[in-house]
Structure 1
Amino acid sequence: MATTTAPRSKPLVKAGTPGEKQKRSLTRKQREAVAAYAFLAPDVIGLLVFVALPMVLAFAVALFKVDGFGNYQYVGLANYKLMGSDDQLLASLKVTGTYVITYVPIAFVVSLALAMLVRNKFKGIGWVRSAFFLPNVVSLVVVGLLWQFLLVDKRGAISSLLAPFGLEDVSFLGTPSLALGTYVVISVWFIMGYQMLVFLAGLKDVPKELEDAAHIDGAGSWQRFRYVIWPLLRPTSFFVVVNSTIGAVTGLQAFDLVYVLTAGGPARSTSTVVLYIYEQAFTFNNIGYATALTTVVVALLVICTGLMFALTRGGRFDEE
């Protein structure tokens, strides 16, 4: 009789073979991917619900005339057309532009200088850094009230210090020609500690060996900064400029601080565009027009930021 042989079964994969290791590797990668998406999900959901959705609704509301009682009347692009003849809006944009081109470079230079000053360790360095950063952890409302108290005409601490020079009668917040400059100084004082820490983080990425080599080759302090530190610090500088520009236009110091200090006065000399949008929405109940203004400001910021990225390659000017 012919004997039949049972078909050979495929050999089982033994534990520890490459096949099993590959399966385990794929499973581990899948678990890591699930964990990563789980960690990202709250931020993504938050951005969609609290940023993306309000932006879409803002573009929709800008097409309506909305009063404080919730009455909607479709007006199309009328709110956008109104901007061209709004003299107060143009004045607020001028104030905001003056503030930005003054505040951003001054804060940049002061913060970088402080970072260079405190980058080296010495006794009490922790206290010095904390003292510079302390204003940034205080509420801007408290900062505004503090400086308002210091700058009270004839009775404030600043007036007392200036009295020997015959300047006790100077009203820093009540004089149109001085109010905006005072606002810039207070803003720089508030933000310099935060930007100093950002620059310190960037300076830690500068290899010490490069500075030592330049020093051995006879380079002075300015030459080491110009040719060694500054090129490596450009990405950090780019972040500081973009961040401070956005903050100067739409940040808390563009509204909270100026609202507490001067409420836009005197003679609208400190009326920023954000403060003007607030007044249109909650003082004059022109919510539709205020929303249209907001969309235009956001669009301008996006365009300016995009141009800055494109022209400077994210701060890497010299890379091909």
Structure 2
Amino acid sequence: MGQKYIPRVIIWDEVCTVPRPVLETFLDWLNQRGVQVVCCGDQGQPPPIAGESSHDWLKEHCDYYEEITVDHRSRCEKLKALKCAIRLQPDRVQCKEMRKALPRCRGWTDFVDDLQPRDLILVTRKAPRDQAQKLLFEHNKEAFPDELVPLLYRPRDTRLQNVLVTIPGPDMAKEELVLNDVVEVSVETAQDVLDGKWGQDWSLGYALTVHSSQGLTIKDPQKVWIVDDYIQWSNLAYLAISRVQYLNQLARCCPPPDTDGRPPPAYDEAVARKNIGRKIQSYQRVDAAKGHKCNLRLKDVEALKEKQRNRCSSCNIELLWCYEPKDTRQFSVDPIDNAKGHIRDNVRLVCLECN
């Protein structure tokens, strides 16, 4: 305890999502110290957003390579074909193939009418996710009052893992939980949780997450509803496709109404320029700490805004220049090549959530 320790064997999961230069640097460092590294991953996962995929480089340089070609989860040929179509493809292509396989996108009201107990949703952004779960809980209370409600365990101190946790409810039962574990409780108990009677470590769990779905097989007739709301670069297309057994377990729907909350502050040029200046100063500090160059000026950012028509280059939402501090629609300047700093011709404008 209190000493640095490098294990002799390291298992590196989801390695396909790591840019090749980053992975090569770490593996070289570990190899020099005699550490055996087992790299594993799913080729259906989209390659890194920035940087070269590591798959082909790993296949060429590793001591042993094995590829599992048998799909034990898929039970229909259409789903297997879709998985083949997204293999080693970027997220943009995966979203396109997913929409091609699921051409119909339900409106929110139609989706709620078709929703069955134990169905799950996939949502990218926090605002529509929170709104969707709130509305689904109201629907749960009215349409299925006797069905259990999923709760997600999210302790404020995320270091508290594998500890005995009191499960909300009259029994006061205890279970050993980790972050993002899901438990099921009655509608009445769920309402008590939302009212704050069981502390701040629980939230509604209708939404499937990357962590809560680890190793999960979603069995028919349970469905996954993909809320088609800025899903590019979110990994959600892969997540949905990889967890079900049949293609008919997947469906698309529109986001819930009023997902963006109160409107942003009115545009004020003086405030917008002040925000740009603050962010440039922040980028300069970050680049200096990394030994990178930063030559951005206010007029460079304004030129990018005009060039991109004030749209996020990833998800295409309209960017905000006057905003509340935590509004994820605010503009952000993102380096295209992370090995370089915030320099002209190496940056693009994205929203805070896509950065």
Q: Which has the higher contact order (CA 8 A, sep 6+)?
A: 1
Q: Which TM-score bucket, shorter chain as reference?
A: under 0.3
- Bigger radius of gyration, 1 or 2? 1
Write 1 or 2 for the structure with the bigger share of helix.
Answer: 1
* TM-score calculated relative to the size of structure 2: 0.23
TM-score (norm 1): 0.25
Relative to its length, the structure with more strand (as a share) is: 2
